């Protein structure tokens, strides 16, 4: 039951982000408590609108069964930034999330899709090296005061509470959309870095 209710969170945040973007075309920036509350309520209504007997939010489950906690955090961070003008995930945390997303995807998906005999997805069940590695990484990020540590902690807590409909830890830390987003974000950052270095060398 709790996993069913939690599945509405990401679609609601996505609808809120879309509403903020649309509002930003008329009112820049789309900030303020009252406006944010109105947009949040409207987004919630949209998420629960039934289509062929199923809420719109649940139709997304047909595309991706479980949206990872880092992806939820990225969307929430963007919605928060639109609403308040401040970021919960600063530049260092964002960079950490992109690197984590890309390397997690590289570690999981090629072999899980049949590239080789080893299936890392199996290590997401129960207590394993994946859980230990995630815990160590979380502690390390906390020690260097990187805010992405809070996101990884949320992954661990969410897994312990069975907030997703999956009971595999991999689904809490990564999903295909987060991998694609991380790849795009890192690629954009590298292109800008190279372009800046090239222009600075002239």
SS3 category, 158: helix
- What does the pLDDT read at residue 196? 78
Closest by CA position to 40, among listed 60, 7, 18:
18
- What does the pLDDT read at residue 17? 93
Residue 38 pLDDT more than 60? yes
| pLDDT cut 70: percent of the chain above it | 95
Largest distance between two CA atoms of the chain: 62
Contact at 8 Å (CB) between 89 and 97? yes
- What does the pLDDT read at residue 77? 96
Structure confidence at residue 184 as a pLDDT band (50, 70, 90): very high
pLDDT averaged over every residue in the chain:
89
Distance between CA atoms of 8 and 11, rounded to whole angstroms? 6
Residue 201 pLDDT more than 60? no
How many other C-beta atoms lie within 10 A of the C-beta of residue 46? 18
Residue 30 pLDDT more than 80? no
Structure confidence at residue 182 as a pLDDT band (50, 70, 90): very high
Two structure tokens written together for 188: 């954009």
Residue extents of the structural domains in the chain = 1-63, 66-202
Strand partners, 54: 51
Residue identified by tokens 């390390």 is 140
More reliable by pLDDT, 202 or 123: 123
Mean pLDDT of 185-191: 93
Residue 168 pLDDT more than 80? yes
Whether the upstream peptide bond of residue 29 has omega within 30° of 0, thus cis, is yes
List CB contacts of 72: < 8 A, sequence separation 6 or more: 9, 10, 13
pLDDT digits (tens, 9 = 90+) for 43-97: 999 988 888 878 888 888 878 889 999 999 999 999 999 898 899 999 999 999 9
Residue 202 pLDDT more than 70? no
pTM, whole model, 2 decimals? Answer: 0.89
């Amino acid at each position: 039951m709790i996993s069913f209710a939690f599945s509405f969170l990401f679609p609601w945040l996505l609808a809120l982000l879309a509403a903020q973007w649309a509002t930003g075309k008329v009112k820049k920036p789309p900030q303020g408590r009252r406006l944010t509350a109105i947009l949040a309520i409207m987004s919630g209504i949209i998420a629960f609108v039934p289509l062929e007997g199923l809420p719109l939010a649940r139709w997304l489950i047909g595309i991706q069964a479980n949206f990872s906690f880092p992806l939820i955090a990225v969307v929430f961070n963007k919605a928060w930034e639109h609403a308040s003008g401040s970021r919960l995930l600063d530049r260092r945390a964002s960079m950490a999330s992109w690197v984590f997303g890309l390397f997690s995807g590289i570690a999981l998906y090629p072999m899980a899709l049949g590239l080789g005999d080893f299936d890392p997805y199996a290590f997401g069940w129960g207590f394993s090296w994946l859980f230990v590695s995630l815990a160590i990484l979380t502690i390390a990020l906390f020690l260097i005061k990187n805010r992405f540590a809070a996101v990884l902690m949320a992954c661990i807590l969410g897994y312990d509470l069975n907030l997703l409909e999956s009971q595999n830890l991999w689904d809490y830390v990564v999903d295909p959309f987060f991998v694609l987003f991380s790849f795009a974000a890192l690629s954009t950052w590298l292109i800008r870095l190279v372009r800046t270095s090239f222009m600075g060398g002239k």
